Amino acid sequence: MNPRPTRQAQTDRRFQALAAWFALSAAGTGTACLAQATAAPEARPSERTTTAEGAERATRADAEKALRERYVISPQDADALGHRIVWQTDALATLDASMQVVTLSGDSVWFGDSAGSVVRVRRDTGETVWRSSTYQGVERMLSISHLPTAAADNVYVVTELSSIALDAVTGNVIRRSRFSHLPSTEPTPFGSYLVFGTSTGLVSWFQYRTGYNWRAATVGAGVHGRVTVAGDTVLAGSMNGRVAAINASTAGIRWTRSLTSAVEAPVAADDGACYVASHDQSLWAFDLDRGRVLWQYFTQTPLVHPPVRISDGLYLQIPGEGLVSFNPTTQRPEGEVRWKSKAGGDVVARIENELMAWDRQKRVLTAVDAGTGRIVRSLSLPKVKAISFDPSTRDLFVTDVAGRVERLERLADSPGRAQKAPVADATRSQD
């Protein structure tokens, strides 16, 4: 029997055989064999799959980036908010101008820019109905109000100096009227009047149908917050701390309260009370009829954010405390807190059981559970300059500084739950 070869001997034999094969191949085929031996080996199936997946991921990432650049709120972010994109317009602002006003009314979205241009957009499709130039941009636009009557279908543009009446159907300018008292706030419609505050401490009534400056009531120092209309009562706060309830029909003072510091934010109200956030570090609740103090919630900081009265709740963003929910009808003289949340911004809408809070400085939209204050979701929207919710349809409208307006609808109201391509893109003509 031959002895079993050692492991070293086996290795030597394999090496000798490999050397002989290499020498024979080199002699027969020359450098071609060497090139073949040194060429990169063919990719295995698993490697080819990995390469294809990487290319697919890169393509998907490029597509998502393009969508984020194209839309004010991308389809991905819209889905995260529980919405889908319906349409988005082109940039509506004129050259070198920026968005100043966006208003929803009826079947239209109204857009105004810093150059004085006004654009009417169809709400269902996002198509432009008309564009009109109202002034040369030397003053700031404050509001656009569509106020049709049986006799005329007009829209009224209010600036710091004047009111411009436009035909809502054609966009033609009908009348320009100068204010005798210059507005410092966005006006609030009441009957045939636009009611607004002034920097001189007045609340002024302007008859928009005729262009007539009707009456004014003295509140105190400058009025910085938009006046509130609750029934037939106009409510306003001033920078000297005076709060006034005024008869909306006669401009007569009903009652006043003098606080120790300024009232900068608009006043909130319901059928029986009004709620005032003051620099005196207190949130006040006053009886709407007589101005009697119902309760006072004391904080550690001046209050500059507006209180918001929605459904059965009262909400206020308080520095150092966060978003605070109050029981507006409490009998406790010190007020009653329901919950506190870390959500930033002011409440702008309630959609079902969720409060939508918008932080204008950080441009963050947060959905908060209305019952507990728990943050449901939060999303950074860096392009959004203005945001509006329509509580009747639950649609969301957003606008960037260039004036691209985007409409989004709730996924629960859409035919399909998943975010797909927009059903219409107003940047293109629809057949």
- Of 59 and 257, the structure prediction assigns the larger pLDDT to 257
The mean per-residue pLDDT over the stretch 15-36 comes to: 39
Strand, coil or helix: 205: strand
> Which DSSP string do the residues of 338-403 spell out, in sequence order?
EEEE---SEEEEEETTEEEEEETTTTEEEEEETTT--EEEEEE-TT-SEEEEETTTTEEEEE-TT-
Can you give the pLDDT at residue 271? 95
Residues 6+ apart with CB under 8 A from 182: 160, 161, 198, 199
Question: Are 98-173 and 179-341 equal in CATH topology?
Answer: no
Q: Give the C-alpha separation, 202 to 184, whole Å.
A: 10
- Of 138 and 386, the structure prediction assigns the larger pLDDT to 386
Of the candidate ranges 20-34, 168-182, 222-236, 294-308, the one whose mean pLDDT is the lowest: 20-34
- Of 415 and 21, the structure prediction assigns the larger pLDDT to 415
Q: For residue 172, count other CB atoms closer than 10 A to its CB.
A: 11
When computed from its CA atoms, the radius of gyration of the chain, rounded to whole angstroms, is 33
Q: Does domain 179-341 have CATH number 3.40.50.300?
A: no
How far from each other are the two terminal CA atoms of the chain, in whole angstroms? 94
In the DSSP assignment, the letter for residue 381 is -
Q: What percent of the chain has pLDDT over 70?
A: 83
Can you give the pLDDT at residue 275? 98
Can you give the pLDDT at residue 51? 72
Per-residue CA distances from 49 to 40, 55, 115, 236, 239 (Å) = 18, 10, 56, 68, 69
Side-chain half-sphere CA neighbours of 198 within 13 A: 19
The mean per-residue pLDDT over the stretch 372-398 comes to: 94
Instruction: Render pLDDT for 144-195 as a digit per residue (tens, 0 to 9).
Output: 999 999 999 999 999 999 999 999 999 999 999 999 999 999 999 999 999 9
Give the pLDDT band of residue 135 (cuts 50, 70, 90). confident
Can you give the pLDDT at residue 49? 65
For residue 34, pLDDT beyond 60: no
Instruction: Render pLDDT for 254-270 as a digit per residue (tens, 0 to 9).
Output: 999 999 999 999 999 99
- Of 141 and 23, the structure prediction assigns the larger pLDDT to 141
CATH topology of domain 98-173: Thrombin, subunit H (2.40.10)
For residue 20, pLDDT beyond 50: no
Angle at 274 between CA 268 and CA 280, to 5 degrees: 85
Most confident region among 40-54, 123-137, 200-214 by mean pLDDT: 200-214
Pairing of strands 308-310, 346-351: unpaired
CATH number belonging to the domain at 72-90+342-431, selected among 2.40.10.480, 2.60.120.10, 3.50.50.60, 3.90.1010.10: 2.40.10.480
For residue 130, pLDDT beyond 50: yes
For residue 32, pLDDT beyond 60: no
For residue 40, pLDDT beyond 90: no
State whether the Cα torsion 140-145-146-149 is positive or negative.
negative
Can you give the pLDDT at residue 392? 83
CB 26 within 8 A of CB 35: no
Q: What does pLDDT average to over the chain?
A: 86
- Of 325 and 44, the structure prediction assigns the larger pLDDT to 325
Tokens encoding 354: 């969720």
Locate the domains of the chain by residue range: 72-90+342-431, 98-173, 179-341
Can you give the pLDDT at residue 136? 74
For residue 29, pLDDT beyond 50: no
Nearest residue to 145 (alpha-carbon basis) of 157, 134, 131: 157
Q: Give the C-alpha separation, 206 to 85, whole Å.
A: 39
- Of 6 and 366, the structure prediction assigns the larger pLDDT to 366
Q: Give the C-alpha separation, 205 to 196, whole Å.
A: 7
Pairing of strands 268-269, 273-277: antiparallel
Instruction: Render pLDDT for 194-248 as a digit per residue (tens, 0 to 9).
Output: 999 999 999 999 999 999 999 999 998 899 999 999 999 999 999 999 999 999 9
Q: Give the C-alpha separation, 387 to 365, whole Å.
A: 9
